[in-house]
């Protein structure tokens, strides 16, 4: 499949998801963006068009240049390594920031990405940080 086809499919998924969900001040939208190297998460209040909090793996010390030095993150019995570990840690970080703002429930916006890999790992990290979807 060519790149235009992939972008078009992602865009269509994103439009479909965003048509069904929106965030409020009490229950903000957790928006995920992933690039090839990094992953970002934002809590957004769509009523006021404001970003409440944000987190990325750039804030963490987890991302290292060599694969041997990447920490492993755990969620119960599962162990995450590679790019999944920083994504899990970003989920926990955004949950900590939400807890400081007294936010317990969110709406998860996967941003048109399929729910697996780093996106799923970020969501599990947020759940481990006691955010409810």
At residue 24, the pLDDT reads 87
Residue 113: closest CA among 1, 55, 33: 33
Question: Could you write out the three-class secondary structure of the chain?
Answer: CCHHHHHHHHHHHHHHHHHHCCCCCCCCEEEEEECCCCEEEEEEECCCCEEEEEEECCCCCCCCCCHHHCCCEEECCEEECCCHHHHHHHHHHHHHHHHHCCCCECEEECCCCCCCCHHHHHHHHHHHCCCEC
At residue 71, the pLDDT reads 59
At residue 25, the pLDDT reads 85
For residue 129, the tally of other CB atoms under 10 A from its CB is 17
Please tell me whether the overall predicted TM-score, pTM, comes out greater than 0.85 for this model: no
Q: How many Å apart are CA 46 and CA 74, to the nearest integer?
A: 32
In the chain (133 residues long), the average pLDDT of successive 10-residue segments reads: 83 86 90 94 94 93 49 69 91 96 93 91 94 92
């Amino acid at each position: 499949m060519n790149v235009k086809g992939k972008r078009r499919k992602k865009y269509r998924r994103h439009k479909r998801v965003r048509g069904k969900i929106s965030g409020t001040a009490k229950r903000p939208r957790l928006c995920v963006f992933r690039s090839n190297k990094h992953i970002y998460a934002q809590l957004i209040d769509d009523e006021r068009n404001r970003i409440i909090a944000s987190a990325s793996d750039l804030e963490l010390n987890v991302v290292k240049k060599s694969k041997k030095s990447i920490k492993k993150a755990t969620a119960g019995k599962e162990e995450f390594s590679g790019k999944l570990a920083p994504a899990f840690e970003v989920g926990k970080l955004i949950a900590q920031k939400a807890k400081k703002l007294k936010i317990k429930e969110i709406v998860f916006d996967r941003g048109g990405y399929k729910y697996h890999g780093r996106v799923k790992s970020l969501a599990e990290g947020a759940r481990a940080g006691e955010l409810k979807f």
